[in-house]
Amino acid sequence: MRFLFTVQGEGRGHYTQALSLAAVLRKHGHEVVAVLIGKSDSRQIPAFFIDKIGAPLFEFDSPNFTSFYKQKRPNILISMANNFLRPFVFKDSLQFIKHKIEELKPDKVINFYEMITGMAYGIYRFDKKMGIEMITLAHQYVLLNPHYKTTAEQDVKFYFLRMLSRINSTRASKILALSFRDMPGSKKKKIVTVPPLLRYEVLEIEPVRGDYVHGYMLNAGYFDEVLEWHKKNPDIPLRFFWDKKGAEEVTHVDDNFTLHKLSDEGFLRSMASCMAYATTSGFESLCEALYYRKPTLMVPVHVEQEFNAYDASLSGVGISAKKFKLNKLIEFIPQYTPDEHFREWVHQAEERFIKEICG
């Protein structure tokens, strides 16, 4: 079968998910004909993705969370307003998606939570007119599962996230909800619960306990926060990764604090050998931390990551904070009790994905 991927270009998670799925599909004799990426002005496509995806890449303008206050927490309402003020840009993007699907004629489109792709299917109905179905894939779809229970307060908090999830999956033939834990899906809502599809590199690295804190900051504005903590605690080594545009491969603050340009295996090996992990709560890296059994401090940047952090806490991944309070992380290490069934759940992923996508 021939697949077209469309990927939301925010953060690391959707890229690594796409890499993992592409590898599994090729292993089973299928082809990824192209990858369309909804780009963000503030970030760039990671080099490891460009090097390893093995398919032509195309970028288009897409809605993204606009960062304010020193590039830290995006304001959701301002982000939405900013995106809706760009109708002509998104009209071009819709036409771009339409043109690529008509040109490449894939058997199926796999959508990694890209809103423009969901909207294009709603407008042009490629499933009806061309017989090209769309399968959507993301952790956020867990919120659409009637078996996933939330409180009234959480229903209000995650309202826009649910709405966005519905928008980009309206015409999906199947909704694959990535989950930390197994749970029933919903045939009526076309939701199937699946394990996180971690890359082969993750499964091959044997974790050990080191003496440093490994970290990932989605927005460069958190650097000042981490630096302030480091100045007060200079004896604890910090090894952070970021995807800041124009950054050097390695930025040396001092002997005990380095910032690395986001890489592939370097990031994983650093995580596998750390004593604890501090992150802005991307789903993929939280799964990797749980697989390696690393105590984690989660500092959500936006509502998607607030949900990631909440759901991850139910599986014992770690603790949440509004700032990079690494003291809190150090104190948490002796109390860390991860979900012991998670590894078994992850090891079912390849079989389940082939069944749901190619069956």
What is the DSSP code (8-state) at residue 222?
Answer: G
Find the DSSP H helices in 255-341.
265-272, 283-291, 303-313, 326-332
Contact in structure between 32 and 3 (CB atoms under 8 Å):
yes
Contact in structure between 352 and 331 (CB atoms under 8 Å):
no
pLDDT above 90 as % of the chain: 71
Q: Which residues are 240's β-sheet partners?
A: 215, 259
**What does pLDDT average to over the chain?**
90
φ, ψ for residue 239, nearest 5 deg: -130, 100
Of 294, 291, 240, residue with least CA distance to 262: 240
Supply the pLDDT for residue 71: 40
265 or 277, higher pLDDT: 277
103 or 89, higher pLDDT: 103
In total, the chain counts a number of residues equal to 359
Exposure pattern of 33-46 as b/e (b: 16+ CB <10 Å)?
Answer: bbbbbbbbebbebb
Task: Provide the total of helices (H) and of strands (E) in the chain, helices listed first.
Answer: 16, 14
Which residues have C-beta within 8 Å of that of residue 344, sequence separation ≥ 6? none
Please name the amino acid found at residue 33: V
Supply the pLDDT for residue 89: 57
Supply the pLDDT for residue 262: 82
On the CB side of 255, CA atoms within 13 Å amount to 2
φ, ψ for residue 290, nearest 5 deg: -70, -40
Checking if the pLDDT of 307 tops 90, the result is yes
- Interior angle at CA 143, CA 46 and CA 108, nearest 5: 55
The tokens for 214 are 């490994």
Reported as a single tens digit per residue, the pLDDT across 89-101 is 588 999 999 999 9
Contact in structure between 112 and 5 (CB atoms under 8 Å):
yes
Average pLDDT over residues 231-250: 90
Reported as a single tens digit per residue, the pLDDT across 58-88 is 999 887 643 333 344 444 444 444 444 444 4
